Structure 1
Amino acid sequence: MKFALKHKNWTVEDWKWVIWSDETKINFTGPDGGKQCWVKDAGFSSKLVKPTVKFGGGCIMIWGCMTWEGIGTMCMVIGRMDSSQYIEMLDEKLTKTMLEMCNGYSLTNLIL
């Protein structure tokens, strides 16, 4: 709510300067949480059993961004992201997006 109130008077021109970024984990074999279902008096039925994958099936983590001008750089995160990997990724990928999409403005003028 704080964010919305702070920016409620921004114009479209103001929002054009925002770079939105996020990361997501994509599982190869379904969601993190297991699903369970109890069917009263069903006994064993192969129709009610869902096969599993040993060792969780794996996942990848992806970071990406977008601007008013379009989709920015996307990259795969290797392993667990720590602060140094996050800073390195921002330095490489976010800077690349800023240079490609900010119409030749100097980076020093873009960073507030």
Structure 2
Amino acid sequence: MRDLAPTHVARAVALIESGQTYRPVARALGASKSTINRNVLRYRATGSYDRKRGQGSKRSTTVRDDRFIVLQTLRNRSQTPVQTRSALEEVRGVQISERTVKRRLKEVELRSYVPAKVPKLEVRLRVARLAFGREHENWNIDQWSQVLFTDESRFCVNTIYGRERIWRRRGERYSQCNFTPKVPFGGGSIMVWGGIGLGARIELVIVDMGTLNADRYILVTNILQDHVVPLAPNIDDNFILMQDNARPHIARCVTNFLTETEITKMDWPARSHVGQKG
């Protein structure tokens, strides 16, 4: 049981008056249904989003303390509430509990989550990505239409990577209906390659002869020879091939082949997929 901040009370009232029920409103504000109900009833009785002075226990932090807690957390996202509490006591001489820190952060919708894992970008990689962005930031639709984006990906045939879940009662672990067949050694996989541009698309090429290497990339699977080379004149005279920096793509024989066939390769920075999602 607790009282919401005035801004959250205003939001709760607006959502309830718009026709929403208490459950989704409580979920959106991170509070219980009873808390939402109590604060909405108080607003309807008093016409104010603020609680009456003297209601509840005295707040242990001031506005400046709350701002300090929030800024400390935003400046160091991995800092624990215990560390924030210690910093507040050291700098402002205010002693509060770890739970109070969590409550102050929750009031501004800051909650603890598992961080997203991404490959580490070294300085040289950041510099290369910035240079690439500046070089292409003013490209128009006609210039991008000259580019064929390509990549390959491997898919497991039988393995489900342990993501499957089932519903069962306690004690039914070994019931026949709850078994998931498992193929020894993963059951194999399949690799496919494809390409796409603004005005062109290449059908998926199945790489069914093991791992993709430079020789297979050029001739054995006929990826470059039979799919990229014939398509290049149909896209544009200034055709550009985009491929990542996988070892088969940057091998000397592949580079020589592209030079001989007069195919321009886009200078794609390493790990350029990192941090693209929001």
The residue aligned with 1:87 is: 218
Instruction: Tell me, yes or no, if structure 1 residue 24 matches structure 2 residue 157.
Output: no
- Map 1:65-80; keep pairs closer than 5 Å: 65-77=195-207, 78-80=209-211
**1:86 and 1:22 mapped to 2: Cα distance?**
11
SS in 2 for 1:26: strand
> Unpaired segments of 5 or more residues in structure 1?
none
What TM-score results when the alignment is normalised by the length of structure 2?
0.32
Asked if structure 1 preserves the Cα contact closer than 8 Å seen for 2:146 and 2:238, the reply is no
Structure 2: runs of 5 or more not aligned: 1-128, 240-260, 266-278
In 1, are the aligned partners of 2:191 and 2:206 still within 8 Å (CA)?
yes
Match of 2:142 in 1: 13
- 1:53 aligns to 2:206 (yes or no): no
CA spacing shift, 1:95–1:109, aligned 2, 3 Å: closer
After TM superposition, the structure 1 stretch with the greater mean CA deviation from structure 2, 52-61 or 9-18, is: 52-61
Q: Secondary structure at the match of 1:19?
A: strand
Contact 2:156 2:188 in 1 (8 A): yes
Q: Report whether the alignment pairs 1:111 with 2:111.
A: no
Q: What CA deviation, in whole Å up to 9, does each residue of 1:39-74 have, x standing for no partner?
A: xxx664436643212242222111110111131243
1:27 Cα shift?
A: 1.6
Structure 2 counterpart of 1:13, one-letter code: D
Q: What do you get for the CA RMSD once the two structures are aligned?
A: 3.2
Identity of aligned residues (%): 26
Q: Would you say how many aligned residue pairs link Structure 1 and Structure 2? A: 107
Structure number with higher relative contact order (C-alpha < 8 Å, ≥ 6 residues apart): 1
The letter for the 2-side match of 1:26 is F
SS at match of 1:76: strand
Q: What amino acid is aligned across from residue 264 of structure 2 in structure 1?
A: I
Secondary structure in structure 2 of the residue aligned to 1:94? helix
Q: How does 1:33-48 map to 2 (within 5 A)?
A: 33-35=161-163, 44-46=173-175
Q: Secondary structure of the residue that 2:201 maps to in structure 1?
A: strand
Question: Match of 2:195, SS?
Answer: strand
The structure with more helix, counted as a fraction of residues: 2
CA distance in 1, matches of 2:263, 2:183: 47
CA contact (8 A) 1:73 1:94 kept: no
Larger Rg: 2
SS, match of residue 147 in structure 2: coil
Determine the structure 1 residue equivalent to 2:194.
64
Amino acid paired to 2:136: H
DSSP 3-state at the match of 2:211 = coil
